Amino acid sequence: MRFVNSVRRTRDAVALSAIILILLCGSQHAAASVHFDKETNVFRLDGGDITYVIGLNRQGEVQTLYWGERLPENQQFPAAQAISGLSSFEMPVNTTPQEYTGWGGALYVEPDLKVTFPDGNRDLVLKYVSHTTGEDRIDILLKDISRDVYVTLQYQIDQQTGILRRSADIENRTKQPFTIEQVASGTWNLPRNTDYRLHYVTGRWAGEWSLQSQPIHGGKTVLESRRGTTGAQNNPWFMIDQAASDDQDQGRVWFGALGWSGSWAITVEQNALQDVRITGGPNSFDFAYLLKSGDHFQTPQFYGGFSDKGLGGTSRLLHRYETDRILPNSPSRKLRPVLYNSWEATTFNVDESGQMALAEKAASLGVERFVMDDGWFGQRKTDHAGLGDWYVNPQKFPHGLKPLIDKVHALHMDFGLWVEPEMVNPDSDLYRKHSDWVLNFAGRPRTEGRNQLILNLARPDVHDYVLQWLDKLLTDNDISFIKWDYNRNWSEPGWPAVPVEQQKNIYIDFTRNVYDILAQLRKRHPNVEFESCSGGGGRVDLGIMALTDEVWPSDNTDAYDRLVIQDGFTYAYTPGVMMAWVTDSPTWVNQRTLSLEYRFLSSMQGSLGIGANLNKWSPEDIALAKKMVADYKSIRETVQRGSLYRLRSPREGEQSITESVSRDGQQAVVFAFLHSSTENYPFPRVYMRGLDENATYALRPLAGKVASNTPTAATGAYWMHRGVDLELRGDFQAMGVILQRK
């Protein structure tokens, strides 16, 4: 009897864990799988709706065979065959779609790895040695044809999204060091087609995330940063679709994103047969890495995926992957709290009583996290001094931070603080003591940006110093959130303290140490959350996102400009990390005046914050803000974790409309903005997406009015096919609509 019970219990437990697993994975997809066919030497990875196939050709090269829609399990692939270059000017090595190439032989296309050996030899030709496979991963070991340089290509496929994570491990098993002059995580090869379009983002301070789209022609397009950090000029992300695609819903799209927060490059090129290949990794400009005998070099992760649901479907897939796989504590990470930040209200003029007064007002609105920005430390009165001296300024906070933190807690908010750990002002005690700690070339000028220099985090002593003071700050104070800022890019990237041949390792060691500090802090202070900020969106990539909980997309808080910025941002990154503050009007950026309701609705498209001077708000403003904050809390799960549909892009005309549908399908939220109405035309009808045709949804305006003949409840089919008319007329008008499933 006991035996039977225990069998039943075990069976129930197994069934239950299967159900839990299915719920957790939220997946209708078959499990990820990896197969190797010994006959044909073909590897196949399946995950989500994707199949990725690579094979070994007779030359021992690893060749891409297929990347696209998931294929039936019994579909066999013929063995890989090198592709002839057509003439003596194009050896097959240039036209065979290889997964990873050493620069050697007659290679002219972008290599993945280029080295110089101490004897002057620069020829590197990598061939297959062996492989191992796991449930969702493959490691393929390559080796140079004569020297003991080993490269392991590492692949992992995600069961839910079919997104592949690729990286390469380079090992020096020779007896001497050699120099890596160029290194990539891998190359993605697209199926043969001549109508590809490349989508990427460009930007600058206060104008990040402009989406660019262009046909892929012959030659190379290089997306890159030479700035020592991710940068806003380009972002390490791309999507490629075909000219015939319907932008948001249909069409085959291939995409990639690099998890690296140092200088990086993604090269999109056509080979002599017009085949498109994309190579990505640390930027090779001014690059070198001395790899000692016995050492390994692990490249950053390069993520890649495919969707046949257009650019819109592709960003939804990417958001899902970021939320469930990349971000800390995923898949069950916390929703973003509604935050208040003091920066635009006070700039550097923070002090105990001023912050306490703001905290009281913020709490009365329903804010959950109070963040004190720049100005609390050292001799920081302007941006000319103080960075590097991370003690609490005794004039501004005579009793330390504790009274303010206690007050914030008493108001039922948690407390956050701004820091800029990698920087130093020449006017600081730290610089006066350690002027050798910054990036510099001996005897050369040190270019300042915002009156600051960059600490060389590649140095072990600087790494230890930064980790130590941050750890102490978090140990001594009850802090829940750190806004980690980075307000300039590199110049004179010298590291005179190490031998010349090792100095360029700075490009790698610096970024690795930033990651290491964040990782150690997270481990020691697991309840502290971090935001990545770089004067706005200058350090947003999947590398930093694996260690931070949210990002600051732009210092531009003009709610109208933000529509375009947020639109571009969400092509690559989830609204669940996209902080968006409501600030004062007219904005400092454009002197534009916008209603408080408009500003709230724009910020509610992401993770809501308030960054205004609350001392100036009228009782009506406060009342409206309370309502909007409460409304936001009722929809934030949908906005932050749901599926985002771009119904009308702010880049295209007078209107902007987005819709988010919650994961459980219970709620949909629409945000609609009108720039300027003209000639008495009505606002375009809104046709919703992503609803269940047969379910009934009740409609409630979040702000503004729907047409008087709108039903209060209707089927998903009605909202999607008949649509809803919004009463929007005038300049800079906005409204929102919530649909709740009955």
**Structural contact between residues 699 and 724, judged by C-beta atoms closer than 8 angstroms:** yes
Dist. CA 383–CA 634, nearest whole Å = 39
Closest to 123 (Cα-Cα) out of 151, 100, 153, 101: 101
**Structural contact between residues 239 and 314, judged by C-beta atoms closer than 8 angstroms:** yes
Facing residues of 299 across strands? none
Which of 47, 535, 642, 736: binder of ligand GLA (CB under 6 A)? 535
553 binds ligand GLA (CB under 6 A): no
| Least Å from the CB of residue 277 to ligand GLA | 36
Nearer to ligand GLA, 56 or 455 (CB): 455
Residue 12 annotated as catalytic: no
Cis peptide before 711 (omega within 30 of 0): no
Dist. CA 588–CA 718, nearest whole Å = 43
DSSP state of 288: -
Using CB under 6 A as the binding rule, the residues of this chain from 554 to 573 that contact ligand GLA are 555
Nearer to ligand GLA, 374 or 597 (CB): 374
Report how many residues bind ligand GLA under the rule CB under 6 A: 11
| Least Å from the CB of residue 350 to ligand GLA | 11
Nearer to ligand GLA, 422 or 485 (CB): 485
The percent helix, strand, coil of the chain (3-state, each to 5) is 25, 30, 45
Using CB under 6 A as the binding rule, the residues of this chain from 431 to 460 that contact ligand GLA are none
Q: Tokens 């050292």 label which residue?
A: 378
Which of 373, 414, 529, 531: binder of ligand GLA (CB under 6 A)? 373
Distance of CA 151 to the CA centre of its chain: 27
485 binds ligand GLA (CB under 6 A): yes
487 binds ligand GLA (CB under 6 A): yes
Task: Identify the helix (H) or strand (E) that includes residue 184.
Answer: none
Nearer to ligand GLA, 551 or 702 (CB): 551
Residue 555 annotated as catalytic: yes
> At CA 438, angle to CA 435 and CA 439, rounded to 5?
140
203 binds ligand GLA (CB under 6 A): no
Dist. CA 716–CA 670, nearest whole Å = 14
| Least Å from the CB of residue 588 to ligand GLA | 12
Helices (H), 477-595: 506-524, 542-545, 559-572
Instruction: Select the span of 178-186, 300-308, 463-471, 530-538 touching ligand GLA (CB under 6 A).
Output: 530-538
Instruction: Select the span of 422-430, 459-467, 528-536, 714-722 touching ligand GLA (CB under 6 A).
Output: 528-536
533 binds ligand GLA (CB under 6 A): yes
Using CB under 6 A as the binding rule, the residues of this chain from 332 to 361 that contact ligand GLA are 343
Question: Up-side HSE of residue 71: CA atoms within 13 Å toward CB?
Answer: 13
Nearer to ligand GLA, 451 or 740 (CB): 451
| Least Å from the CB of residue 639 to ligand GLA | 22
Instruction: Select the span of 148-156, 532-540, 596-604, 646-654 touching ligand GLA (CB under 6 A).
Output: 532-540
* Neighbouring residues of 344: CB distance < 8 A, sequence distance ≥ 6: 557, 581, 583, 584, 588, 611, 612, 613
3-class secondary structure, 314: helix
673 binds ligand GLA (CB under 6 A): no
| Least Å from the CB of residue 459 to ligand GLA | 25
Distances (CA, A) of 441 to 445, 451, 497: 8, 18, 10
Instruction: Select the span of 61-69, 304-312, 533-541, 723-731 touching ligand GLA (CB under 6 A).
Output: 533-541
Nearer to ligand GLA, 391 or 718 (CB): 391
Distances (CA, A) of 452 to 238, 423, 547: 32, 6, 25
Cβ neighbours of 350 (radius 10 Å): 24
Using CB under 6 A as the binding rule, the residues of this chain from 392 to 411 that contact ligand GLA are none
Task: Give the active site residue among 136, 144, 427, 485.
Answer: 485
Task: Identify the helix (H) or strand (E) that includes residue 652.
Answer: none
Task: Give the active site residue among 136, 144, 541, 555.
Answer: 555
Nearer to ligand GLA, 343 or 490 (CB): 343
378 binds ligand GLA (CB under 6 A): no
- Amino acid code (one letter) for 111: P
Which of 368, 374, 561, 631: binder of ligand GLA (CB under 6 A)? 374
| Least Å from the CB of residue 548 to ligand GLA | 14
**Structural contact between residues 452 and 423, judged by C-beta atoms closer than 8 angstroms:** yes
Instruction: Select the span of 15-23, 31-39, 531-539, 652-660 touching ligand GLA (CB under 6 A).
Output: 531-539
Using CB under 6 A as the binding rule, the residues of this chain from 409 to 428 that contact ligand GLA are 418
| Least Å from the CB of residue 703 to ligand GLA | 27
Which of 102, 337, 536, 716: binder of ligand GLA (CB under 6 A)? 536
Cβ neighbours of 297 (radius 10 Å): 17
Task: Identify the helix (H) or strand (E) that includes residue 608.
Answer: strand 607-610
Dist. CA 566–CA 553, nearest whole Å = 8
Nearer to ligand GLA, 556 or 649 (CB): 556
Nearer to ligand GLA, 228 or 416 (CB): 416
Dist. CA 410–CA 227, nearest whole Å = 43
Task: Identify the helix (H) or strand (E) that includes residue 602.
Answer: helix 596-603
Query: Which residue is closest to ligand GLA by CB?
Result: 374
Nearer to ligand GLA, 423 or 457 (CB): 423
| Least Å from the CB of residue 342 to ligand GLA | 9
Burial 141-175 (b: 16+ CB within 10 A, else e): bbbbeebebbbbbbbbbbbbbbbbbbbbebbbebe
Active-site residues, by number, are 485, 555
Please report, as ranges, the residues that interact with ligand GLA according to CB under 6 A: 343, 373-374, 418, 485, 487, 533, 535-536, 552, 555
